[in-house]
């Protein structure tokens, strides 16, 4: 696809195929952030020369303001003895009109599953609330998940944003890794990291978020956890699986997410472990 801005067309880009959404009964790619585009052009190809019919593009307008929310609500909250500062849902303008599910909770968080949104890395800091509102609408309404699936999202500037409703200070069950949602926290890096390195600011934020969620649950960020999980696209039936406490989405599901550049996770685990000790975050 490509988009038109100020009478100029962008370069062509491709997007991941997300497979069939069981609730919607349709298949297709994920969300692509276009910014202030005035037109979009798509080209559909097939390896077997058979193309689907009734092809549509869902166009999402995330709006331009969060003026309806109090100014104080747009400030980040300090959590975990100060190890993280996280912007709440009001900071990016999460409309209650699209919230169609009730939060559920696990006994505790035993692992953090790392994703990327596979949208774009070409965004400014001021674009992030609009990107979040787009992801929220896409996951809640288009994919019919009832809410944003990730518990938190991290932009390339190192800011952490609350995703799924229910409270980041609680073990809220997300909808980010089928079969692995209970007892995990899902965090998504905003961008496409198939071929782009993760920024230093985003790596630090990821380590701090993981230290907070794991440390306050008494889980060692460098440990391996045994989770009773499934079924998922990788495991056809419920089974016990050993995974790192900070685990890429690829280890839980048959997916290209979170991108090839997530080789930073060993360093993230070491940094999170140091932060657990530094901020006295429990018995990990």
pLDDT score, position 73: 60
pLDDT at position 284: 41
Decide if 155 contacts 190 (C-beta within 8 A).
yes
- Which pLDDT belongs to residue 18? 60
Q: What pLDDT does 231 receive? A: 82
pLDDT reported for residue 204: 98
pTM score, two decimals?
Answer: 0.90
The confidence score (pLDDT) of residue 56 equals 83
Per-residue pLDDT of the chain (284 residues; tens, 9 = 90+): 899 998 999 988 877 666 554 445 566 777 888 888 899 998 888 888 888 788 888 888 888 765 545 555 668 999 999 999 999 999 999 999 999 999 999 999 999 999 999 888 989 999 999 999 999 999 999 888 999 999 999 999 999 999 999 999 999 999 998 888 899 999 999 998 888 899 999 999 999 999 999 999 999 999 999 888 878 877 877 888 899 999 988 878 777 778 666 789 999 999 999 999 999 997 54
Which residue has 């035993």 as its token pair? 110
Spatial separation of the C-alpha atoms in residues 106 and 184, rounded to whole Å: 8
Q: Are 215 and 284 in contact (CB under 8 A)?
A: yes
Q: Where are the alpha helices (DSSP H) in 178-232?
A: 200-215
Find the helix or strand (DSSP H, E) in which 129 lies: helix 128-137
- Closest C-alpha to 145, from 259, 22, 6: 22
């Amino acid at each position: 696809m490509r988009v038109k801005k100020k009478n100029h067309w962008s370069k062509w880009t491709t997007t991941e195929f997300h497979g069939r959404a069981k609730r919607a009964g349709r298949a297709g790619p994920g969300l692509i952030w276009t910014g202030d585009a005035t037109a979009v052009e798509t080209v559909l190809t097939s390896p077997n020369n058979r193309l689907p019919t009734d092809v549509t593009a869902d166009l999402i307008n995330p709006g331009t303001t969060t003026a309806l929310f109090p100014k104080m609500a747009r400030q980040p909250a300090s959590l975990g003895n100060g190890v993280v500062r996280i912007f709440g849902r009001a900071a990016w303008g999460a409309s209650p009109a699209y919230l169609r599910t009730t939060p559920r909770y696990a006994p505790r968080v035993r692992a953090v599953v790392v994703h990327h949104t596979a949208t774009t890395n070409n965004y400014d800091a001021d674009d992030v609330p609009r990107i979040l509102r787009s992801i929220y609408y896409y996951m809640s309404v288009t994919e019919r998940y009832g809410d944003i699936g990730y518990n938190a999202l991290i932009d390339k500037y190192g800011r952490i944003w609350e995703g799924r409703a229910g409270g980041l200070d609680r073990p809220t069950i997300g909808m980010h890794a089928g079969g692995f949602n209970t007892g995990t926290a899902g965090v998504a890096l905003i961008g496409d990291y198939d071929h782009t390195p993760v920024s230093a600011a985003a790596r630090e934020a990821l380590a701090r978020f993981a230290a907070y969620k794991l440390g306050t649950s008494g889980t060692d960020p460098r440990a391996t956890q045994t989770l009773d999980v499934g079924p998922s696209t990788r495991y056809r039936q419920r089974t016990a699986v050993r995974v790192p406490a900070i685990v890429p989405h690829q280890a839980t599901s048959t997916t290209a997410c979170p991108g090839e550049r997530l080789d930073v996770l060993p360093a993230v685990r070491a940094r999170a472990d140091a932060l657990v000790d530094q901020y006295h975050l429990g018995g990990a």
